[in-house]
């Protein structure tokens, strides 16, 4: 029986691009800020998984807000991520 090798794909963003894994459930921060999961909401939240060398101010693991229509949708091994310019990020969520 032939063993199937699993393809591991990762993105290394260039310049000021950031890879964000969207978080689709409604979340509430400790301070009470509610980030909606509704598709009607104007922004989404996500976790930064990689940041380009010129994407100052954000690091992998940061939770961020970004406009719903920002960036490019990419699917990596079944996981949907967004590739967004650093300037399109609205805020970092500190919870």
* pLDDT on residue 57: 92
Domains in the chain with CATH codes: 17-93 (2.30.33.40)
pLDDT at 1: 47
Identify the CA nearest to 21 among candidates 58, 61, 54, 53: 61
**Cα separation, 12 vs 50, whole angstroms:** 7
Burial (0-12, 13-18, 19+ Cβ within 10 Å), 51 = buried
pLDDT tens for each residue of the chain, 95 residues long: 455 554 456 789 999 999 999 886 656 667 767 666 555 568 888 999 999 999 999 999 999 999 989 999 998 777 889 999 999 999 998 87
The pLDDT score that the predictor gives to residue 15 is 95
């Amino acid at each position: 029986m032939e063993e199937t090798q699993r393809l591991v794909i990762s993105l290394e963003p260039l310049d000021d691009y950031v890879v964000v894994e969207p978080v689709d459930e409604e979340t509430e921060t400790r301070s009470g800020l509610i980030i909606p999961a509704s598709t009607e909401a104007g922004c989404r939240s996500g976790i930064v998984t990689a940041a380009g060398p010129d994407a100052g101010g954000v690091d992998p693991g940061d939770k961020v807000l970004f406009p719903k229509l920002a960036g490019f949708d990419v699917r990596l091994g079944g996981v949907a991520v967004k590739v967004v310019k650093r300037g399109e990020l609205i805020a970092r969520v500190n919870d």
